[in-house]
Structure 1
C-alpha cells in the first residue's frame, strides 16, 4: 500500500511539473547512436539536452539509454559525466507527446519494436504502461532508475 501511495505521489509530481518539452528536429536530424534519420519514426524520438545547449537526438528509447548509461562510447560528443545532462526527453508512446524520461514508465518485452529493434516502450503513466503491456505481451514495467547497461546490451542482442 505504501509503495502504491509513493508511486501516485511521484506521478502527480511528474504530471504537474511546469516543464514543457519539445522535439524540434528536421529531416536532417540523425540518431547520435545509430545514425538513423529520426523524422522517419517520430513516435520513437528521444533527446538529451546538454547544459551547453546542444541537443542530442535518438531514434528510440533504447538508443538514448545506451548513450545515457555509457556516454564514453561516443567520446566525440564531449559528455564527461551525468552532470552534463540538462533534460532527458522521450516520446510517450500513447499520446505521442514529449515527456520527462526520468519520470516515465517503460514496458520491457513487448511485441512492439522500434527502428532500433527490441526496445523499451515509454509512457507518462503507470496505468498506460500496464494497459499497453497487457495488450502487447509486455513482460515488465520499469522505472528509469531500474534500467541498466546489462538490459540495454540484452536488448541489443
Structure 2
C-alpha cells in the first residue's frame, strides 16, 4: 500500500511539473512577444532615455511617415522647436499622455500647463490635458504658471518655459 501511495505521489508530481513547465514556457513566450511589441520605440528621439520607463509621460509622434518616441512632452517640444529637422511642419499624428487619466490623447488638441510643481523625468515640462477644465484645476492645485494650446507653443515659448 505504501509503495502504491508513493508511486501515485511521484506520478502526480511528475505530471504536475510537466504541465507547469508547459504553461511557464508559454507564458514566457507570450511575455517576450508583448515585450518586443511594447519596446518598439525604446529610446527618446531627443535625449535617448527609454520611453517605456515613463509610460505616464511618453509621447508618440508620427511625422514624415516616421514614428518618433519621446520620454516626455518636454523632449518632443524641444525636438519640434529645432527647425533643422523639419518635423514641426510634417506632423501626421501626435499622442501625449493626459496627466490625470493617463490615457493617450491627441497632442495637437491638448492643453499644456507649464511652471507647476510637478515635473517629468526630464524636469520642468509641459503637462498635457485633454480638457481645459482639468488643466485649469491642475494649474491651481500645483502652482502652474500658464496654459498653452499646442498651436501657441513655439521655439520662444519652449526656451522661456524650460529654462
- State the TM-score, normalized to the length of structure 1: 0.73
SS of residue in 1 equivalent to 2:95 = strand
Alignment of 1:1-150 (within 5 A): 25-26=38-39, 29-52=42-65, 54-72=66-84, 75=85, 80=86, 82-150=88-156
CA distance in 2, matches of 1:81, 1:41: 23
In structure 2, the partner of 1:153 is 159
Gaps of 5+ in 1: 1-23
1:155 offset after TM fit, Å? 3.7
Structure number with larger C-alpha Rg:
2
- Say if 1:104 and 1:123, in contact at 8 Å, map to a contact too: yes
1:82 offset after TM fit, Å? 4.1
CA distance in 2, matches of 1:101, 1:28: 18
- State the TM-score, normalized to the length of structure 2: 0.71
In structure 1, the partner of 2:22 is none
Gaps of 5+ in 2: 1-36
Name the structure where helix makes up a greater proportion of residues. 2
1:71 offset after TM fit, Å? 4.7
CA distance in 1, matches of 2:80, 2:149: 15
SS of residue in 1 equivalent to 2:45 = coil
CA distance in 2, matches of 1:28, 1:61: 15
- Say if 1:27 and 1:38, in contact at 8 Å, map to a contact too: no
SS of residue in 1 equivalent to 2:96 = strand
Cα RMSD (Å) of the superposition? Answer: 1.9
Of structures 1 and 2, the one with the larger relative CO (CA 8 A, separation 6+) is 1
State the Cα deviation string for residues 11-30 of structure 1 (Å, max 9, x = none): xxxxxxxxxxxxx7418601
